[in-house]
Amino acid sequence: MQSRIMGAALTAALLISLLAGCGASGSNANGSAVLSDGVLTVGTNAEFPPFEYVGDNGEPDGFDIALINAIGEKLGVKVEVQNMEFDSLVSSIGSKADVAIAGMTVTEERKQSVDFSDPYFDAVQHVLVPAESDIATYEDLEGKAIGCQLGTTGDFIIEEIEGATDQQYNKAVDAVNDLINGRLDAVIVDSNPAGVFTANYPDKIRDLDGEDFGFETEQYAIAMPKGDKALADAINQAIKDLKADGTFDELVNKYM
Ligand code: ARG
């Protein structure tokens, strides 16, 4: 009898603390199971400067990491970043990660598996070539050995180039190293990372704007589980607020 009463009291106490826990995870967190535990697990691939790279302390850093931390703060949740292969980010959502931020381009194919937040950045693929190369047009890429990071939009572009050999790497920087070593004719990678990689080897590689090759503008967004409207609303509102209060521009100035 007594233990039954104690049991009921315990259950009540547990319920109250659970409810309190929900309240503590932020007023924007209404209704999203992902946010209700107070932790947002974020997948990234820290091989994409200035958006994400491994910082001096061995932890992922960069624009995207700062952005998702600022979003977490707005939502009242703790952000935990998990570094993984770019190619496994989309499938990790709902298991290893709640969401992913990785300079990830919104594509129709990815939309089959995940929802995307409002876009937060525009980019275009660039073409890196050896300094002495005469590659200048899309046709010049035909039949060439072209490197990219596996599973990226650069990879998908190379697949379409007539006769090109698509050399896929786990990290874009490894493709850049092979370009410098003469193993590749070109590397296709997003505009901002292309600028960072070129700055490291200014007399060895040239950075060509993909617009001159007919490549389309891409938009980066946060990948989220399909159908979690409460989560999407909360994240989109946070992005809006960070743009309105100047935080977003501060991060652009800091990292770009
Ligand atoms: N924007 C490209 C894409 O979505 C490349 C992104 C690569 N990002 C990274 N963190 N490695 O496919």
Q: pLDDT per residue over 168-185, tens digit each?
A: 999 999 999 999 999 999
Q: How far apart are CA 45 and CA 229, in angstroms?
A: 25
Specify the pLDDT at position 18: 43
Nearest atom in ligand 1 to the alpha carbon of residue 46 is 10
Is a pLDDT exceeding 60 seen at residue 14? no
Ligand 1 mean position, distance from CA 102 (Å): 6
Q: Are strands 165-169 and 205-209 parallel, antiparallel or unpaired?
A: unpaired
Ligand 1 mean position, distance from CA 173 (Å): 13
Nearest atom in ligand 1 to the alpha carbon of residue 123 is 1
> pTM for this structure?
0.88
CA distances from 73 to 39, 43, 161, 237, 239 (A): 11, 17, 43, 12, 11
Ligand 1 mean position, distance from CA 13 (Å): 46
Task: Indicate the top mutation candidate among 53, 86, 116 to test ligand 1's pocket, ranked by most ligand atoms within 8 A of CB.
Answer: 86
Pocket of ligand 1 (CB under 6 A): 45, 47-48, 52, 86, 102-105, 149, 152-153, 190, 218
- Nearest Cα to 107, choosing from 223, 235, 238? 223
- Pull the structure tokens for residue 70: 């600022």
Q: Hey, what amino acid is at 100? A: A
**3-class SS at 145?**
strand
Banded model confidence at residue 130, pLDDT cuts 50, 70, 90: very high
Nearest atom in ligand 1 to the alpha carbon of residue 51 is 10
Q: How far apart are CA 91 and CA 87, in angstroms?
A: 8
Q: Which residue's CA is the nearest one to ligand 1's atom 12?
A: 152
Nearest atom in ligand 1 to the alpha carbon of residue 44 is 10
**3-class SS at 53?**
strand
Q: How far apart are CA 199 and CA 196, in angstroms?
A: 5
Helices (runs of H) and strands (runs of E) counted in the chain: 10, 15
Give per-residue pLDDT as tens, 239-253.
999 999 999 999 999
> What does the mean pLDDT of the chain come to?
91
